[in-house]
């Protein structure tokens, strides 16, 4: 079973669907303003996360399914040793 289920999610602008944002890396993530490079729309951390919640949920679901499949496989392998 894998130890790492990390994923990267490209967040997109709710206005133009661009995935290119400018932000100040010196500020904590939750306090940053995210400015879309293409349309200049500005989002707070909460706004950008909220507008991408469906994308985030889809990836979380994919990770859950992958983890469940891996765990099932590992358990089946472990129990198959007892059946011999």
Task: Return the residue matching tokens 């679901």.
Answer: 61
- pLDDT at 37 (0 to 100): 98
What does the DSSP assignment read for 4-22?
Answer: ----------TTT----EE
- pLDDT at 84 (0 to 100): 55
Burial 46-58 (b: 16+ CB within 10 A, else e): eebeebbeeeeee
Does the pTM exceed 0.85? Answer: no
Beta bridge partners of 33: 44
Q: Using CA atoms, how far apart are residues 60 and 55, in angstroms rounded to an integer?
A: 9
Over the chain (84 residues), the average pLDDT of each successive run of 10 is 85 97 94 97 96 96 94 89 68
């Amino acid at each position: 079973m894998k130890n790492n289920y990390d994923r990267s999610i490209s967040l997109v602008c709710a206005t133009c669907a661009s995935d290119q944002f400018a932000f100040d890396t010196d500020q904590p993530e939750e306090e940053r303003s995210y400015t879309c490079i293409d349309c200049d729309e500005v989002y707070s951390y909460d706004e950008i996360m909220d507008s991408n919640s469906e994308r985030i949920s889809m990836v979380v679901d994919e990770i859950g399914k992958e983890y469940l499949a891996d765990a099932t496989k590992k358990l089946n392998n472990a129990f198959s040793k007892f059946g011999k």
